[in-house]
């Protein structure tokens, strides 16, 4: 018999971005509702950034805290039984602990990415959405390395096969329709799944925009991972030399040769709370060109909320494919064709803001109450 409380386990703890904000909101929502939380510590900065910024004491403190929380959560999960458990970001859970969870508990997965079939977590290869491993891992190649870099490739593949073997027992909570379709492509239509949406609270509240930032023609809203489209944006900038671009990343972290960088790009390391929000708000067009089968991405929704003129790249199973064409600019995968689309957008003085704001309002009304139980 299951005890009368729920358990939420997350490989990423509460923090300032992405999954971290989601976990923080879930704690606020369910902490007084017979729900217990177990999560791995989420540092404010990445451990690499602590080293880069010569914050060596902070590196030692945060890395030690991460290791102890990592070990503590995994040991706890190994022994737990007869519980209702929701797992977020399972990449950090030991394969042995995960197997015992499946065998001894009722388990749900809140799906954040493509780690249920892709070792890279973001199913992206050869500059496009990759579906080679949906049915099996026979087509995996040397370019496919585990992300996050906690386990070996062999261990990561073993975990993927483990999840597949228990897929009929797991309840999959999906963020959107395409996410659910992809799961069924992977595991079959008989799996137990439901769409619960996603809301981090960053884009559904009343927003006051008072940006005084320098205005760029195009602002990239994404991170350093190639699956988010950073190389795609740089290639487009090579063709659109008459337009200014802002990329909120450190050029050296990208490993870019300064001599080969288009002169119309400004690289400036920024986070949302340290100035990116203002640049997104003032841009003529915001690019959110993720090239993998995206679940619901906060960057895209925040760009709609704080600007409204947003461009994405069309693919098969990404969340952007569910958004109507009159709401966002849908670019071709080819940077050459996309360049012409962006030129037409500027020359025709198109404006998606009214439609995108109306769409976001409907989205928020539907997803404002995130119910995972």
**How confident is the model over 87-102, as pLDDT tens digits?**
999 999 999 999 999 9
Q: Mark whether 188 and 274 lie in a shared domain.
A: no
CA angle 41, 299, 27 (to 5 degrees): 35
CATH number of the domain within which 276 lies: 3.40.50.2000
Q: Mark whether 111 and 228 lie in a shared domain.
A: no
Q: Which SS3 state, helix, strand or coil, does residue 234 take? A: helix
Q: Mark whether 191 and 324 lie in a shared domain.
A: no
Q: Assess if residue 209 is contained within a domain.
A: no
Domain interval for residue 251: 218-367
Q: Mark whether 319 and 182 lie in a shared domain.
A: no
Q: Mark whether 56 and 112 lie in a shared domain.
A: yes
Q: Mark whether 140 and 65 lie in a shared domain.
A: yes
pLDDT in tens, 109-136: 999 999 999 999 999 999 999 999 998 8
Q: How distant is the alpha carbon of residue 90 from its chain centre?
A: 14
The answer to whether residues 127 and 232 touch, using CB atoms and an 8 Å cutoff, is: yes
Q: Could you give the CA distance from residue 122 to residue 164 in angstroms, rounded to a whole number?
A: 18
Q: Assess if residue 373 is contained within a domain.
A: no
pTM for this structure? 0.91
Q: Assess if residue 372 is contained within a domain.
A: no
**Could you say which of 195, 210, 226 is where a domain stops?**
195
List the alpha helices (DSSP H) in 240-273. 251-254
Q: Mark whether 80 and 189 lie in a shared domain.
A: yes
DSSP string of 15-74? -SSTHHHHHHHHHHHHTTTTEEEEE----SS-HHHHHHTT-HHHHHHHHHHHHHHHHHHH
The answer to whether residues 113 and 87 touch, using CB atoms and an 8 Å cutoff, is: no
Structure tokens that stand for 99 in this block? 């197997």
Q: How confident is the model at residue 182 (pLDDT cuts 50, 70, 90)?
A: very high
Q: Which residues pair with 218 in a beta bridge?
A: 245, 285
Q: Mark whether 185 and 322 lie in a shared domain.
A: no
**Could you say which of 195, 210, 235 is where a domain stops?**
195
Q: Assess if residue 1 is contained within a domain.
A: no
Q: How many domains does the chain have?
A: 2
Span 13-40, mean pLDDT?
Answer: 86
**Mean pLDDT rounded to a whole number for the chain:** 90
Looking at residue 1, its pLDDT comes to: 37
Q: Assess if residue 129 is contained within a domain.
A: yes
The answer to whether residues 322 and 255 touch, using CB atoms and an 8 Å cutoff, is: no
Q: Is the pLDDT of residue 2 over 70?
A: no
Q: Assess if residue 202 is contained within a domain.
A: no
Looking at residue 254, its pLDDT comes to: 81
Span 210-221, mean pLDDT?
Answer: 88
pLDDT in tens, 295-334: 998 899 999 999 999 999 999 999 999 999 999 999 999 9
CATH number of the domain within which 188 lies: 3.40.50
């Amino acid at each position: 018999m299951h005890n009368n409380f729920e358990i939420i386990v997350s490989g990423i703890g509460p923090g300032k971005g992405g999954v971290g904000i989601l976990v923080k909101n879930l704690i606020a929502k369910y902490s007084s509702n017979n729900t217990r939380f177990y999560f791995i510590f989420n540092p404010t900065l990445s451990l690499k950034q602590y080293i880069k910024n010569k914050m060596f004491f902070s590196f030692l403190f945060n890395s030690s805290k991460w290791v102890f929380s990592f070990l503590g959560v995994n040991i706890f999960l190994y022994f737990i039984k007869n519980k209702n458990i929701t797992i977020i970001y399972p990449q950090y859970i030991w394969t042995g602990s995960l197997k015992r969870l499946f065998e001894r508990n009722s388990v749900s997965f809140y799906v954040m990415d493509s780690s249920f079939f892709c070792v890279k977590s973001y199913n992206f290869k050869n500059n496009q959405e990759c579906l080679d491993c949906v049915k099996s891992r026979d087509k995996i190649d040397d370019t496919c390395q585990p992300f996050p870099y906690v386990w070996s490739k062999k261990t990561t593949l073993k975990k993927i096969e483990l999840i597949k073997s228990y897929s009929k027992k797991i309840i999959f909570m999906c963020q959107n329709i395409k996410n659910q379709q992809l799961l069924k492509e992977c595991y079959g239509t008989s799996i137990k799944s439901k769409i619960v949406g996603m809301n981090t609270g960053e884009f559904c509240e009343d927003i006051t925009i008072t940006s005084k930032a320098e205005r760029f023609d195009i602002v990239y809203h994404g991170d350093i991972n190639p699956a988010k489209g950073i190389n795609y944006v740089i290639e487009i900038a090579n063709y659109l030399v008459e337009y200014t671009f802002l990329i909120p990343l450190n050029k050296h972290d990208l490993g870019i040769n300064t001599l080969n960088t288009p002169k119309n790009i400004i690289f400036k390391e920024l986070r949302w709370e340290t100035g990116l929000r203002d640049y997104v708000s003032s841009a003529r067009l915001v690019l959110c060109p993720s090239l993998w089968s995206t679940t619901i991405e906060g960057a895209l929704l925040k760009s709609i909320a704080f600007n409204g003129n947003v461009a994405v790249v069309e693919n098969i199973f990404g969340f952007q494919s569910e958004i109507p064409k009159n709401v966002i600019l849908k670019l071709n995968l080819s940077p050459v064709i996309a360049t012409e689309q962006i030129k037409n957008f500027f020359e025709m003085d198109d404006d998606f803001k009214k439609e995108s704001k109306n769409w976001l309002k409907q989205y928020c009304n539907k997803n404002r109450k995130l119910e995972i139980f």
